[in-house]
Copies of this chain bind each other. A is one copy, B any other.
Amino acid sequence: MTNAFVRKLQRGVELSESDQQQLIEATSRTQVVDPYTILVREGEPHHEAYVLLSGFAYCFKLLTNGERQIVACLVPGDTVGLYGVATENSDYTVVTLATCTVASISRDTIDSLMADHPNIGRAFWWSLLLEKSHLCAWLANIGQRPAPQRLAHLICELLHRQQAVGLTRSGSLEILLTQQDFGDILGITNVHVCRIFRQLRDLRLVHCDQKSIIVRDLDQLMNYADYSSALC
Protein backbone atom coordinates (compact mmCIF):
# COMPACT_ATOMS: atom_id res chain seq x y z
CA MET A 1 0.00 0.00 0.00
CA THR A 2 1.30 3.36 -1.00
CA ASN A 3 0.23 6.52 -2.77
CA ALA A 4 1.75 9.45 -4.61
CA PHE A 5 2.21 11.44 -1.41
CA VAL A 6 4.18 8.72 0.34
CA ARG A 7 6.28 8.11 -2.75
CA LYS A 8 7.12 11.77 -2.97
CA LEU A 9 8.12 12.13 0.67
CA GLN A 10 10.23 9.01 0.42
CA ARG A 11 12.35 10.68 -2.19
CA GLY A 12 13.48 13.02 0.56
CA VAL A 13 13.40 11.01 3.76
CA GLU A 14 13.32 7.30 4.36
CA LEU A 15 10.04 6.34 6.01
CA SER A 16 9.33 3.25 8.06
CA GLU A 17 6.39 0.97 7.32
CA SER A 18 4.60 2.54 10.24
CA ASP A 19 5.28 6.08 9.03
CA GLN A 20 3.97 5.17 5.61
CA GLN A 21 0.89 3.63 7.14
CA GLN A 22 0.20 6.82 9.09
CA LEU A 23 0.50 8.92 5.95
CA ILE A 24 -1.80 6.66 3.99
CA GLU A 25 -4.42 6.89 6.69
CA ALA A 26 -4.02 10.63 6.96
CA THR A 27 -4.71 10.98 3.24
CA SER A 28 -7.57 8.53 3.08
CA ARG A 29 -10.29 11.20 3.14
CA THR A 30 -10.32 11.90 -0.57
CA GLN A 31 -12.60 13.54 -3.06
CA VAL A 32 -12.64 13.71 -6.81
CA VAL A 33 -12.59 17.25 -8.12
CA ASP A 34 -13.55 18.49 -11.57
CA PRO A 35 -11.15 20.40 -13.79
CA TYR A 36 -11.08 24.16 -13.29
CA THR A 37 -12.12 23.94 -9.67
CA ILE A 38 -10.66 26.43 -7.23
CA LEU A 39 -9.23 24.61 -4.22
CA VAL A 40 -7.89 27.64 -2.40
CA ARG A 41 -8.60 31.28 -3.07
CA GLU A 42 -5.95 33.98 -2.69
CA GLY A 43 -6.51 36.10 0.40
CA GLU A 44 -8.89 33.68 2.06
CA PRO A 45 -7.97 31.37 4.92
CA HIS A 46 -8.26 27.65 4.40
CA HIS A 47 -8.72 25.29 7.28
CA GLU A 48 -7.47 22.10 5.77
CA ALA A 49 -4.41 21.15 3.78
CA TYR A 50 -4.76 19.27 0.53
CA VAL A 51 -2.68 16.57 -1.05
CA LEU A 52 -2.95 16.02 -4.78
CA LEU A 53 -3.07 12.26 -5.31
CA SER A 54 -3.83 12.34 -9.01
CA GLY A 55 -4.39 14.98 -11.66
CA PHE A 56 -2.81 18.35 -12.26
CA ALA A 57 -3.22 21.83 -10.79
CA TYR A 58 -1.44 25.14 -10.52
CA CYS A 59 -1.08 28.09 -8.17
CA PHE A 60 -1.17 31.74 -9.17
CA LYS A 61 -1.14 35.24 -7.80
CA LEU A 62 -3.21 38.06 -9.25
CA LEU A 63 -1.87 41.59 -9.53
CA THR A 64 -4.02 44.67 -9.41
CA ASN A 65 -3.10 45.50 -13.01
CA GLY A 66 -4.94 42.33 -14.03
CA GLU A 67 -1.80 40.32 -14.73
CA ARG A 68 -1.41 36.85 -13.34
CA GLN A 69 1.73 35.02 -12.26
CA ILE A 70 1.60 31.27 -11.99
CA VAL A 71 3.96 30.40 -9.13
CA ALA A 72 3.79 26.62 -9.08
CA CYS A 73 2.52 23.55 -10.90
CA LEU A 74 1.29 20.62 -8.84
CA VAL A 75 1.69 16.99 -9.81
CA PRO A 76 0.52 13.97 -7.81
CA GLY A 77 2.17 13.89 -4.39
CA ASP A 78 2.37 17.67 -4.10
CA THR A 79 0.62 19.49 -1.32
CA VAL A 80 -1.29 22.70 -0.88
CA GLY A 81 -1.04 24.67 2.32
CA LEU A 82 0.45 21.83 4.30
CA TYR A 83 2.43 24.27 6.37
CA GLY A 84 0.35 27.36 6.87
CA VAL A 85 -3.01 25.78 7.52
CA ALA A 86 -5.40 27.97 9.46
CA THR A 87 -2.65 30.34 10.41
CA GLU A 88 -2.97 32.93 7.71
CA ASN A 89 -4.51 33.74 4.40
CA SER A 90 -3.28 31.94 1.37
CA ASP A 91 -1.05 34.09 -0.76
CA TYR A 92 -2.14 32.46 -3.98
CA THR A 93 -5.06 30.74 -5.66
CA VAL A 94 -4.96 27.02 -6.44
CA VAL A 95 -6.99 25.67 -9.32
CA THR A 96 -7.23 22.22 -10.88
CA LEU A 97 -6.66 21.70 -14.60
CA ALA A 98 -7.66 18.07 -14.74
CA THR A 99 -9.96 15.80 -12.85
CA CYS A 100 -8.09 15.40 -9.58
CA THR A 101 -8.13 13.15 -6.58
CA VAL A 102 -7.53 15.35 -3.58
CA ALA A 103 -7.04 14.28 0.02
CA SER A 104 -7.86 16.68 2.84
CA ILE A 105 -5.83 16.75 6.02
CA SER A 106 -6.84 18.70 9.08
CA ARG A 107 -4.51 20.86 11.09
CA ASP A 108 -4.75 18.50 14.02
CA THR A 109 -3.76 15.53 11.93
CA ILE A 110 -0.73 17.37 10.64
CA ASP A 111 0.25 18.42 14.13
CA SER A 112 0.04 14.95 15.56
CA LEU A 113 1.77 13.37 12.58
CA MET A 114 4.69 15.67 13.11
CA ALA A 115 4.74 15.40 16.87
CA ASP A 116 4.56 11.60 17.00
CA HIS A 117 6.70 10.70 13.98
CA PRO A 118 9.95 12.61 13.73
CA ASN A 119 10.73 11.29 10.28
CA ILE A 120 7.42 12.50 8.96
CA GLY A 121 8.24 15.90 10.36
CA ARG A 122 11.58 15.78 8.59
CA ALA A 123 9.90 14.74 5.37
CA PHE A 124 7.52 17.70 5.61
CA TRP A 125 10.48 20.02 6.16
CA TRP A 126 12.19 18.52 3.16
CA SER A 127 9.13 18.98 1.03
CA LEU A 128 8.81 22.65 1.98
CA LEU A 129 12.49 23.19 1.24
CA LEU A 130 11.98 21.58 -2.13
CA GLU A 131 9.20 24.04 -2.88
CA LYS A 132 11.52 26.87 -1.96
CA SER A 133 14.21 25.52 -4.25
CA HIS A 134 11.69 25.30 -7.05
CA LEU A 135 10.74 28.92 -6.57
CA CYS A 136 14.38 29.98 -6.69
CA ALA A 137 14.87 28.01 -9.88
CA TRP A 138 11.81 29.66 -11.44
CA LEU A 139 13.07 33.04 -10.36
CA ALA A 140 16.39 32.46 -12.10
CA ASN A 141 14.60 31.09 -15.13
CA ILE A 142 12.29 34.07 -15.54
CA GLY A 143 14.83 36.66 -14.51
CA GLN A 144 17.86 35.61 -16.50
CA ARG A 145 17.10 33.33 -19.40
CA PRO A 146 15.99 34.41 -22.88
CA ALA A 147 12.49 33.30 -23.76
CA PRO A 148 13.35 30.19 -25.82
CA GLN A 149 15.56 28.78 -23.08
CA ARG A 150 12.97 29.79 -20.55
CA LEU A 151 10.29 27.72 -22.23
CA ALA A 152 12.69 24.84 -22.83
CA HIS A 153 13.61 24.88 -19.16
CA LEU A 154 9.98 24.72 -18.15
CA ILE A 155 9.33 21.81 -20.49
CA CYS A 156 12.30 19.95 -18.99
CA GLU A 157 10.96 20.52 -15.52
CA LEU A 158 7.41 19.45 -16.31
CA LEU A 159 8.64 16.33 -18.08
CA HIS A 160 11.05 15.55 -15.29
CA ARG A 161 8.41 15.88 -12.61
CA GLN A 162 5.88 13.83 -14.50
CA GLN A 163 8.51 11.13 -14.91
CA ALA A 164 9.34 11.31 -11.21
CA VAL A 165 5.77 10.38 -10.32
CA GLY A 166 5.60 7.74 -13.02
CA LEU A 167 3.18 9.54 -15.31
CA THR A 168 5.27 9.10 -18.42
CA ARG A 169 8.17 6.92 -19.38
CA SER A 170 8.74 8.23 -22.86
CA GLY A 171 9.58 11.79 -23.76
CA SER A 172 5.93 12.56 -24.30
CA LEU A 173 4.29 15.11 -22.05
CA GLU A 174 0.55 15.45 -21.89
CA ILE A 175 -0.11 19.10 -21.78
CA LEU A 176 -3.04 20.75 -20.03
CA LEU A 177 -1.62 24.25 -20.00
CA THR A 178 -2.79 26.70 -22.61
CA GLN A 179 -0.30 29.03 -24.25
CA GLN A 180 -1.75 31.76 -22.07
CA ASP A 181 -0.84 29.63 -19.05
CA PHE A 182 2.68 29.15 -20.35
CA GLY A 183 2.92 32.88 -20.75
CA ASP A 184 1.73 33.49 -17.20
CA ILE A 185 4.39 31.12 -15.92
CA LEU A 186 7.21 32.55 -17.99
CA GLY A 187 6.32 36.22 -17.89
CA ILE A 188 5.69 36.58 -21.62
CA THR A 189 2.55 36.93 -23.75
CA ASN A 190 0.63 34.03 -25.23
CA VAL A 191 1.47 35.26 -28.72
CA HIS A 192 5.15 35.11 -27.95
CA VAL A 193 4.77 31.66 -26.43
CA CYS A 194 3.38 30.52 -29.74
CA ARG A 195 6.36 31.94 -31.60
CA ILE A 196 8.86 30.44 -29.19
CA PHE A 197 7.20 27.05 -29.53
CA ARG A 198 7.68 27.36 -33.24
CA GLN A 199 11.37 28.14 -32.73
CA LEU A 200 11.81 25.05 -30.57
CA ARG A 201 10.02 22.98 -33.19
CA ASP A 202 12.21 24.42 -35.94
CA LEU A 203 15.27 23.54 -33.87
CA ARG A 204 13.88 20.00 -33.65
CA LEU A 205 14.07 20.21 -29.89
CA VAL A 206 10.43 19.39 -29.35
CA HIS A 207 7.56 18.18 -31.45
CA CYS A 208 4.05 19.31 -30.61
CA ASP A 209 1.19 16.95 -31.03
CA GLN A 210 -2.35 18.17 -30.49
CA LYS A 211 -2.45 17.68 -26.75
CA SER A 212 1.11 16.80 -25.96
CA ILE A 213 4.70 17.86 -26.28
CA ILE A 214 7.11 15.23 -27.48
CA VAL A 215 10.75 15.56 -26.55
CA ARG A 216 12.88 13.44 -28.83
CA ASP A 217 16.27 14.07 -27.27
CA LEU A 218 15.95 15.14 -23.66
CA ASP A 219 19.69 15.56 -23.15
CA GLN A 220 19.83 17.97 -26.04
CA LEU A 221 16.90 19.97 -24.67
CA MET A 222 18.36 20.00 -21.16
CA ASN A 223 21.62 21.21 -22.56
CA TYR A 224 19.89 23.91 -24.56
CA ALA A 225 17.90 25.04 -21.52
CA ASP A 226 20.74 24.80 -19.00
CA TYR A 227 18.50 22.51 -16.98
CA SER A 228 19.94 20.53 -14.11
CA SER A 229 17.77 17.73 -12.83
CA ALA A 230 18.80 17.97 -9.21
CA LEU A 231 15.37 18.87 -7.88
CA CYS A 232 12.38 16.59 -8.06
A interface vs B, CB < 8 Å?
Answer: 61, 63-65, 67-69, 71, 83-84, 87, 91-92, 125-126, 128-129, 131-133, 135-140, 142-145, 184-187, 226, 230
Contact = CB atoms under 8 A, between A and B. Distances in A.
B71 A144 contact: no
A71 B140 CA distance: 8
Integer count of this chain's copies in the complex: 2
A227 to B, nearest CB: 10
B144 A139 contact: no
Given A67-B144, A144-B67, A91 B226 contact: no
Given A135-B139, A187-B143, A128 B128 contact: yes
Nearest to A185: B143
Contact of A136 (B71, B126, B137): B71
A143 to B, nearest CB: 3
A226 B143 contact: no
Given A71-B136, A92-B136, A125-B83, A187 B226 contact: no
A69 B132 contact: no
A71 B128 contact: no
A91 B131 CA distance: 12
A136 B72 CA distance: 9
A185 to B, nearest CB: 8
A64 B145 CA distance: 10
Given A61-B136, A64-B226, A142-B142, 4 more contacts: A61-B137, A61-B140, A69-B139, A128-B128
A133 B137 CA distance: 15
Contacts of A135: 132, 135-136, 139
B226 A140 contact: no
Contacts of A125: 83
A123 to B, nearest CB: 12
